[in-house]
Chains A and B, each alone.
Chain A
C-alpha cells in the first residue's frame, strides 16, 4: 500500500510524474507545478512511462491519454496493477466513453483540456492531501475493520488492498454509517470539487470499491445505493 510521502527534498509538497508527449505543455506544467511547490518528473513516451514511474516513485501521476508508444489507458492499468498511487488523467476528449474507460482502467480523477492551472493544482492537492491530523481511529463497517490512521482495511485479519482514493471513499461513508451521501457531496468530500462536477466519477469508483470490499458486488452490504439520492455505508 503506497502511502503519500514527502518528496525527496522535504520542502516540496510531493513529486508528480508528468506523462505527456507535448513538450510545450510538459514544460508549462513543470513551471506551474514548481510554482506550487511540487517536484515534477517528466516522461514523453508511453512505453517508458512504467519505468519512469518505478524510478521516480511519484506521489501522483498526471497522465495524458493519447501517447506515442503505449496508450494512456494501458499505462494507467499497468501502474494501477502495481501501485495505488493517485492517477489524474489529462484528456482532450470530453466524450463519455473515453472518460469512463479511463476511470475504469484505474484513474482516480480526470481533467479535460484546456484547464486552468488553479483547477489542476486543486485536483492534484485533493489527491495528495492526506488526513494526517485525523484521530487514531478504527471504524467498523459491515464485517470490515477500517484502520483510518494506518490506511488499512481488514476482513477477519485479511488485508484488502485499496487505493488511497477507494480508502478515502470508504472512510467518508463509514464515518457516518447510515447517513446518505449524494454524489455531489461525495465529490466534494473525497475529490475536493468545490462545484458540481461529473458524478460518473463517483459511480465508477463505487463500482471499483465494491469489487474489492463486497462479498457479492451484485448485492452489496457495505456500500449501499439509495436510488435517486446517492450512497450510504451499511450497518456495522
Chain B
C-alpha cells in the first residue's frame, strides 16, 4: 500500500519535473505555448467585452420600445375603462376587464409581440383577473407587484415568462397601476418575450467563440511557423558545433540567403575554419617539436656515446696516469653520468610536453616492483648510511600499469627520500584499496617548509639551492614522476613539515576509467603521534581539503584534488 502511495507520489513528482525539463529544453515549444496562452487571454477578454456590449445594446433597445408600448397600452386601457364608466349602466366587472384586455391584445398584433396580464391589487377574491395567450400569473415576480402597488408608477424587470401549458421564455415585464371603474385598483402587466434577442445573442456568442478559437489556432500556428524559422537553423548550428567539438573539423553550416541567420552561419563557419587552421598549425608545431626532439636525441647521443666510451677507456687506465690527470678523468666520468641522466630526463619531459608519451600497460606485482626499486637504491642508501625499510606489505599486489614508469616513480621517490632523509631511514609502504593501490615513501629528514609541497614537483626546483648536491639528481625526477602518475590517471602527492620529514604518496587507480576515490595510504603517517602535535595535524588535513597549504604550519600539496583519510 505504502509502496503504491510512494509510486503515485513519485509519479506526481516526476511528471512536473519532466514537463519542466521539456519546457526548458525547447525554445520552439516555449514560444508557441506562450503565444497560445497569451492569445487565448486576449481573445477571451475581447470576446467577453464584445458580448456584453451587444447584450446591453440589445436589451436597452428592447426596454425602450417595451416601456413605450406599455405606456401607450396603459393609456389606451385607462381610456377604454374610463369610457365604459357610465354610472348605473356600467357593465359588469368581468366584461370591463375583458374589453380592456382584448383591446390590448389587439394592439399586440398577430402573432402577438407581447402578452398582457391584468391583475387585481385587492386581496379579496371578487375581482376578475385576465391574461392573454395562456400566460401564467406567476410570471410576474412578487417584488415587481409590490413595487408597482407601492410606487403607483410604471415599473419593469426581467424575468422568466411562464405559460399555463408549461412553456417558459425569458422576458421583460412592465407593470403599471390601472383603476377599473366600479371594481377598484388593478395592475396592468405587459410581458415582452425576449426570444428574438435571445436568438440574436446566441448567434453572436457562437460566432465570437468560433472566431476566437480559430484566431487562437491561427496565432499559435503563426508563432510555431515563425519560431521554426529561427529554431531550425539554430538547432542545425548547435548540431554542427557539437560535431565540431567532437573533432570533425571539416564540419560546416549551410549558408542560405543573406539574413541574420545566414550571417550567423557565415561567422560560425569562419570561426570553425579559423579553429581548424589553428589546430592544424598546433598539430604541425607539435609534430615539428617531436621530430626535433627525436633528431636532437639522435644527434646528441651518438657523439655522447663516443665521448662516453673514450672516457671509459681512459678511466680504466687511470692507475698509470699522474694524480691530477687521474682526478680529471674521474671528474669527466662523473659529469658524463650526470650529463647523460640530464639528457635522458630532458628528452622524457619533452616527450610528455609533446603529448607523445604512451602507457604500455601490463599486469605486474607492485610489491615485487617496489622491492626491485628498493634493491636498486640500496647502494645509494648504504653510502648515505640510512636504512630502507619496506613496511605494511601485502604479500602480492597485482595491478595493471606501465612497469617502466611506475618503477621510475618509485625509484625517484626513494632516491629523493635518501637525499633529503636522515639517519632515521626511509619507510616505503604499499597498500591496496578497493579502487586503488598506493605506495608512499616517508623520510624523517629536513622536511618541507610551508608552501614548498606545492613546489617540489616543479622542474629544476631545489629545496635549498645552497645545499650540497649529494646524489646529483637532475632536478627533473619528481616532475617526470608526476607526469608518469598523471598518465596512469593516478595521484602523486607530497606532504612535509620542517624537522619532521616528508612523505610522498603515489596512488594508482585499479581501473583508469573508474578513477580513484580514496588512497589506501595516509599521506602524513605520523598523524597519530602522541606528542601533542594533534592540532597542527588537524590543521594540515583542513588545509588539504581547502587546498590552501600556505595557511597551515605543515605543507601539503595535492594533485588532482585527493581526499585525506580521516
Nearest 3 Cβ contacts at the A-B interface: A92-B298, A113-B301, A92-B301
Number of interchain pairs (Cβ within 8 Å) = 73
Chain A 12-23: CB-based contact to B (< 8 A → 1; otherwise 0): 000000000010
Q: Please give the distance in Å from A201's CB to the nearest CB on chain B.
A: 12
Residues of A near B303 (CB, < 8 A) are 22, 24-25
A28 and B309 in contact (CB under 8 A), knowing A94-B344, A196-B376?
yes
Closest to B376 in A: A195
Say whether B358 faces chain A, with CB atoms less than 8 Å apart. Answer: yes
Question: Whole-angstrom distance between the alpha carbons of A55 and B27 in the complex?
Answer: 81
A22 and B306 in contact (CB under 8 A), knowing A95-B351, A196-B372?
yes
Asked if B308 contacts A114 (CB within 8 A), the reply is: yes
Interface residues on B, range: 20 to 34
Say whether B313 faces chain A, with CB atoms less than 8 Å apart. Answer: yes
Asked if B360 contacts A96 (CB within 8 A), the reply is: yes
Question: Whole-angstrom distance between the alpha carbons of A35 and B363 in the complex?
Answer: 42
Asked if A228 contacts B363 (CB within 8 A), the reply is: yes
Residues of B near A95 (CB, < 8 A) are 294, 351, 356
A-B contact pairs, 5 of them (CB 8 A): A24-B303, A25-B305, A28-B309, A35-B313, A92-B301
A93 and B404 in contact (CB under 8 A), knowing A114-B305, A228-B398?
no
Closest to B343 in A: A114
Question: Whole-angstrom distance between the alpha carbons of A184 and B403 in the complex?
Answer: 12
Q: Please give the distance in Å from A215's CB to the nearest CB on chain B.
A: 26
Residues of B near A200 (CB, < 8 A) are 360
* Residue in B302, B368, B372 whose CB lies within 8 Å of A113: B302
Q: A114-B308, A115-B305 are in contact. List 15 more A-B contacts (CB 8 A).
A: A24-B303, A25-B306, A25-B309, A28-B305, A28-B310, A94-B347, A96-B358, A113-B302, A113-B304, A116-B309, A117-B309, A196-B376, A196-B407, A198-B404, A228-B364
Q: Please give the distance in Å from B363's CB to the nearest CB on chain A.
A: 4
Which residues from 27 to 50 on chain A have a C-beta closer than 8 Å to any C-beta of chain B?
28-29, 31-32, 35
* Residue in B294, B310, B376 whose CB lies within 8 Å of A93: B294
Asked if A116 contacts B312 (CB within 8 A), the reply is: yes
A92 and B297 in contact (CB under 8 A), knowing A25-B305, A114-B305?
yes
Give the interface centre of B305, B309, B364, B365 by most chain A CB atoms within 10 Å. B305
Q: Please give the distance in Å from A171's CB to the nearest CB on chain B.
A: 25
Residues of A near B362 (CB, < 8 A) are 199
Closest to B296 in A: A92
Closest to B337 in A: A116
Give the interface centre of B309, B356, B365, B398 by most chain A CB atoms within 10 Å. B309
Say whether A118 faces chain B, with CB atoms less than 8 Å apart. Answer: yes
- Residue numbers of B with Cβ under 8 A of A are 294, 297-298, 301-310, 312-313, 340, 343-344, 347, 351, 356, 358, 360, 362-365, 368, 372, 376, 398, 403-404, 407
Q: How many residues of A contact B (CB 8 A)?
A: 30
Question: Whole-angstrom distance between the alpha carbons of A66 and B298 in the complex?
Answer: 9
Say whether A227 faces chain B, with CB atoms less than 8 Å apart. Answer: yes
- Residue numbers of A with Cβ under 8 A of B are 22, 24-25, 28-29, 31-32, 35, 66, 92-96, 113-118, 182, 184, 195-196, 198-200, 227-229
A118 and B301 in contact (CB under 8 A), knowing A24-B306, A196-B407?
no
Asked if A116 contacts B376 (CB within 8 A), the reply is: no
* Residue in A24, A93, A114, A117 whose CB lies within 8 Å of B340: A114
Question: Whole-angstrom distance between the alpha carbons of A28 and B306 in the complex?
Answer: 6
Asked if A32 contacts B297 (CB within 8 A), the reply is: no
A117 and B312 in contact (CB under 8 A), knowing A24-B303, A28-B306?
yes
Closest to A196 in B: B372
Q: Please give the distance in Å from A38's CB to the nearest CB on chain B.
A: 14
Residues of B near A113 (CB, < 8 A) are 301-302, 304-305
Residues of B near A229 (CB, < 8 A) are 365
Residues of A near B347 (CB, < 8 A) are 94
Q: Please give the distance in Å from B428's CB to the nearest CB on chain A.
A: 16
Closest to A227 in B: B363
Q: Please give the distance in Å from B319's CB to the nearest CB on chain A.
A: 16
Residues of A near B301 (CB, < 8 A) are 92, 113-114
